Structures are given as structure tokens and as C-alpha cells.
Amino acid sequence: MKAIVFDRFGGPEVLREADIEVPQPGPGQVRVRVKAAGLNALDGKMRSGMLEAVFPTTFPAVPGGELAGVVDALGEGVTDVQVGDEVLGWSDTGSYAEYALATIVAPKPAALGWQHAAALPVAGETAERVLNLLGVAAGETVLMHGAAGAVGTLAVQLATARGARVIGTAGPGNQEYLASLGATATVYGEGLVERVRALAPDGVDAVFDLAGKGALEDSITLRGGTDRIVTIADFRAQQLGVTFSRGPSEASSDRLAALAQDAATGKVVTTVTAYPLDQAATAQQVSDAGHVRGKLVLTVG
């Protein structure tokens, strides 16, 4: 099968197309004929070697942690999924490929396109996990740094659905986008503390850092301490006393199915930019540069 692999750590240029063996499902796994693969910032960090201590790599490695596609083989013990089912979920073997194995999948609603389906597993799980860690509740104000990306797009909507107010930071070009999702938008950078205080004179109840670009100090100032601040992107968290959350620790077929249904009916909005599989290096270069609106997706089949 065709897949995107890398044999050494480095920039996007180390990614190459290769013919590799089709994986065989083990107990509890399904094999999926991939239609679309989600691309995440984590993919580039793993490719660079930055996360080797956390996620050890065996070369050649196939990137990609999420997929949408058609089940074409079942492992031993799988009874809740059938060959031919259209699904979305988390990849066990890397999703930048024509076929991938998965343990946790959910049904894809017919009204949900492949690209939008592939945008949901990682971003949805991450957004829900952090909002739960923060204990976000109705009537509270949540500050989200870098809210226009894939996780932020869903986190803004999930938080407002809980009855919270979201103040989201993004670049000038994404201010209207954040407002369309239901957030109060502001730009990041110098003067952020003053801008947020003007928007929330009574303070912010929680902070979700999705950007990882030096906003933790401002967050601590705004919160008056490190309580109820969570980052998924700033590796200085521990030295600052801030919680760093990585997953997927709450991956759930049932919750993913509910999110997919909400996306199919328009209750939850997803925004995608798609690249063909053979342009994975270009897509990762875009991801590495940051400032992505919504989700980057690779189309495979």
C-alpha cells in the first residue's frame, strides 16, 4: 500500500511516499481503508524528534493519529463493527496511508463528509478532556490562547454549549472567525493582559492554552496563580507550575459518535483545509508554521 513515512528526524522534507505492507488487524482491532487522515501539530513534533522521550519512534514511521474510512477487515473479538462500515477514529498504526489499524472507532453519519469526519477524533477528545480538567461550567469565563485552530474551533463551541463565555486569542485574520464560533475575540501578543481585563473586568475563571507561545506568564497574572490553567502546547508548563495535558486519555467511541452526529447536523461546525496524501510534507510545513484556521486534513482514497 502507499503510505507517507519518515526514516529519520528532521523537517517536513524527511517525509516521503513509500510502498509498505498492508497491516493485519490483531485482537480488538479493525483495518480501515482510509479516506481522510487528520493532521495535527503533534505529527510535526514527533517527526522532528522533539517528542522522542515521550513517544519513541520506530523507523520507518507512518505519521497520523486519526482517520475516517471504511472498515475492510476485523480482528479477533470485534463484534460491534462490520466490514463495510463507514467509521472515524484513532489510528494505531499511522493514518497517512491507504490502510490503517484502529481499536477505537465510531460510526460516521452519512451526512458527514470524510474530511470533516477526520477532523473530529483528536480535536474533540482534546477539547473535551481539557474542559473537563478545568471544570468549565455555565456562567464562567474561559480564556483560550490560539483558539482558531483545530482544537480551539471545537473547544470554543463545546465551552459555549456548557454556558460559558469564551475569550479567544488569534491573529488579526481570525478575529471574525472566532466571533462566528461564539467567542469574544482579541489578538495575542503585547498588551494581552490589559485587553483581557478590559473584556472581563471580573476576571477569567479558567485558561486553556492551545498556542504554546509564551502566554502562560500572562495567564498566571490574569488568574493570580496557576490554578485552573491547562496547556497542551507549552513544554515550560512544569517549571511554571502549570498543568500540561496530553492524551488521548478520554478516547471514547460513544462520545466521538455523539460529536460526529452534532457535526453532521450542523450543531458543531468544523473547518478543514485539505491536501492530497502525496502533499503531506507541504501540509506539515503549513502546520509547523502555525496560524492554521481549523483543521488540516489529508485526502487518501
CATH number of the domain at 65, please: 3.90.180.10
Within a domain: 265: no
Domain that holds residue 177: 123-244
Residues 114 and 128 in one domain: no
DSSP-based three-state secondary structure for 280: helix
| Cell numbers standing for residue 199 | 473584556
CA 220 from centroid of its chain's CA atoms: 25
Partners of 159 in beta bridges = none
pLDDT for position 183:
98
Within a domain: 133: yes
Rounded distance between C-alpha atoms, residue 292 and residue 273, angstroms: 9
CB atoms within 10 A of CB 58: 5
Contacts of residues 169-173 at CB distance under 8 Å and 24 or more positions apart, as own/partner, are 169/143, 169/144, 169/145, 169/211, 169/215, 170/146, 171/291, 173/291, 173/293
Q: Closest Cα partner for 246 from 168, 140, 151?
A: 151
Per-residue confidence band for 213, with pLDDT thresholds at 50, 70 and 90: confident
Within a domain: 89: yes
Is the omega angle on the peptide bond into residue 12 within 30 degrees of 0, that is, cis?
no
pLDDT for position 272:
97
Residue 162 confidence (pLDDT) above 80:
yes
Contact 297, 36 (CB under 8 A): yes
Contact 149, 209 (CB under 8 A): no
Within a domain: 74: yes
Residues 63 and 147 in one domain: no
Residues 202 and 166 in one domain: yes
- This prediction has a pTM of 0.93
* Cα→Cα distances 282→12, 26, 50, 67, 277, Å: 7, 33, 19, 19, 10
Average pLDDT score over the chain: 95
163-207: pLDDT as tens digits? 999 999 999 999 999 999 999 999 998 999 999 999 999 999 999
Residues 115 and 35 in one domain: yes
Contact 250, 125 (CB under 8 A): yes
Rounded distance between C-alpha atoms, residue 112 and residue 118, angstroms: 10
Contact 164, 140 (CB under 8 A): yes
pLDDT for position 17:
97
Within a domain: 251: no
Residues 39 and 136 in one domain: no
The count of domains in the chain is: 2
Residue 249 confidence (pLDDT) above 80:
no
CATH number at residue 234: 3.40.50.720
Residue 110 confidence (pLDDT) above 80:
yes
DSSP-based three-state secondary structure for 142: strand
H helical segments located in 89-149: 114-118, 121-134
